[in-house]
Amino acid sequence: MALMDGKVGIVTGVANDRSIAWGIAKALHREGARITLSYQSSRLLKRIELLAAKINADFIEVDATDPEGMVRLATKAGHLGGIDFFVHAMAYADREALNGRFIDTKPEAFSEAMRISCYSLIEMVQVLESHLKPEASVLTLSFEGARRTFQNYNLMGAAKAALEASVRYLAVDLGNKNVRINALSAGAMRTVAGSAIGSARFTYQWLEKNTPLGRNPLLDEVGNSGLYLLSALSRGVTGEVHHADCGYNTVGMVCPKHDAPA
């Protein structure tokens, strides 16, 4: 029997076949899960239809800032008879707020980034709480920029830090219902979100050169880490930030074996 046989759930934030959420969805499907994908707006519908067909998934429109999307999310969970897993993969910050100096961040940009990148997790858990089955698992996506500075990550780093803190507090609230929640912190990935960072290519190459494994993680590897956190394999794990970054989060200086000094 496959690991996720009989399990049903919702995966948000799939933009294309390079999305981390898509890697997780593929891993869940491979192990027998029944999945509903959510997409942000009608401009992504055709792309989501093609991806959903590959994993026999349903799909619904959910915009993190649209109250009607929250209603659709809860309604879908109800129609499924409850859900065993939920993946929150939504984040946004104005491109201008990612460049320049963090100290110049405008209040409007700060509020928008926090609303979409952090509070949307809290709000979605609120509307889904009564539909989460016992031993259900919730997963959100973070990045090492939540803990350490990265060039042109700025406001998103603050938003991800708030997201990770929210995971810890939500773990306490959901633990009383025997529901778990964790964050998955992937390394540099060639995703739509990653390409919005001004120094994306430099960051990707730097991490690739300086991880202990000497490379960046593959999408399938990150997807399998997501599968672990959403399955019974991690039943004793909650409130954690799990790194799937080829070890970069452990590095305190340039790895000598990859860039030995002259």
Annotated catalytic residue 153: yes
| Rounded Cα–Cα distance for residues 198 and 99 (Å) | 7
Burial (CB count within 10 angstroms: exposed 0-12, middle 13-18, buried 19+), residue 41: exposed
Tens digit of each residue's pLDDT (9 = 90 or more) over 34-68:
999 999 888 888 999 999 999 999 999 999 999 99
Q: If you average pLDDT over residues 138-162, what whole number do you get?
A: 95
Q: What three-state secondary structure class fits 90?
A: coil
Query: 160, 204, 228, 248: which is the annotated catalytic residue?
Result: 160
Candidates 119, 153, 204, 228; catalytic one = 153
State the chain's mean pLDDT as an integer: 92
Single out the residue of 190, 53, 56, 70 nearest to residue 125, CA to CA. 70
Q: Tell me how far apart the alpha carbons of residues 124 and 74 are, in angstroms, rounded to a whole number.
A: 8
Q: Please state, in angstroms and as integers, the Cα–Cα distance from residue 97 to each residue in 93, 159, 161, following that order.
A: 7, 12, 16
pLDDT at 217 exceeding the cut of 80: yes
pTM tops 0.85: yes
- Give, for 88, the enclosing helix (H) or strand (E): strand 83-88
Sorting pLDDT into bands at 50, 70 and 90, what band is 260?
A: very low
- Select the more confidently predicted residue: 46 or 234: 234
Q: How many whole angstroms separate alpha carbon 253 and alpha carbon 116?
A: 33
Placement of tokens 């599968």 in the chain: 227
The answer for residues whose C-beta is within 8 angstroms of residue 64's C-beta and 6 or more apart is 40, 90, 92, 115, 116, 120, 123
pLDDT in tens, 162-184: 999 999 999 999 999 999 999 99
pLDDT (0 to 100) of residue 253? 80
204 is catalytic: no
Check residue 226 and give its pLDDT.
Answer: 98
pLDDT of residue 262: 47
Instruction: Give dist(CA 249, CA 143) in Å, integer.
Output: 10
Q: Note the helical H segments in 186-244.
A: 192-195, 200-210, 219-230
Token pair of 169, please? Answer: 């507090």
**Count of residues for the chain?**
262
State both tokens at 65: 């800032």
**Is the pLDDT confidence value at 72 over 90?**
yes
Percent of the chain whose pLDDT exceeds 90: 79
Among 43-52, 229-238, 251-260, the range with the most confident prediction by mean pLDDT is 229-238
Which tens digit of pLDDT belongs to each residue from 202-213?
A: 777 888 889 999
| pLDDT tier at 220, thresholds 50, 70, 90 | very high
What pLDDT, on the 0 to 100 scale, is given for residue 255?
63
Domains and CATH numbers, the chain: 8-250 (3.40.50.720)
CB atoms within 10 A of CB 51: 21
